[in-house]
Structure 1
Amino acid sequence: MGNKGQAMLLAVLLIGSGILTMTAVSGYLTLQRVRMSSDTVNSTKAVFAADAGIECELFNYFKRASVNCGKLFFEDNKVSIKTSIVVDASSTPRYIKSIGSASRAYRAFMMGFGGATSTLP
């Protein structure tokens, strides 16, 4: 008769630990969803910053300007840009690379100059 109590106690412990595990996993997944939704805002900021970097370098190239694209102003001071123009041996630009960052989100764009001219039609 004493074994029936042990079996019931063991069954309750197993069911309880299973429910606790499922609750912990569910909480973790919910936390990840909340983090992803907040990172969507930063990801969008980083995309637009990278796009602004491409536009700035295109402006510099076609208008022969010298705007410092890394110093563009954004309302959010956690947003920044790093841009570079990669040229070949004859100093012809091959592509523009722009990396936008907002908090911990980084997004990059690269635009090639395949057959582009330095003057507009």
Structure 2
Amino acid sequence: MKSDPMESVNVTTYRIPPSQGPGSGKAAWVEFGRARMDNEQTLWSIIHDQTATIAELQAEVALLRDQIASRKPKGGRPKTDDKTTARIEAALAGGMSQRKAARLCGVSAMTVSRVAARVAARGAVK
């Protein structure tokens, strides 16, 4: 990785020519303008280097985020198998309460509630 471009920067102090009197001529102002222009070119060079460094760091951060995202464990509850889902649906269609259907099928009441919600959604769509 590149070093910090600010490490090699020197502080520049300008002596602004007076507006009147000795040292206020065109040559003094031209020299002042050239010194400022040279310094600004140096600053633009530093800005360019820093922009390149920032772009490299942003690319590295994006790569690290992708790597972290790919390492996340696949979570969530396991899918209820189709046979158990069919038994739950049959029990609910027969008028059994959700809690009784849960005990009968060996699943949680929340699982039966989810299956019931899916059945209701399918019924509403038809």
TM-score of the aligned structures, taking structure 1 as reference length: 0.45
TM-score of the aligned structures, taking structure 2 as reference length: 0.44
Looking at secondary structure, tell me which structure has more strand per residue.
1
| Structure exhibiting the larger radius of gyration computed from Cα positions | 2
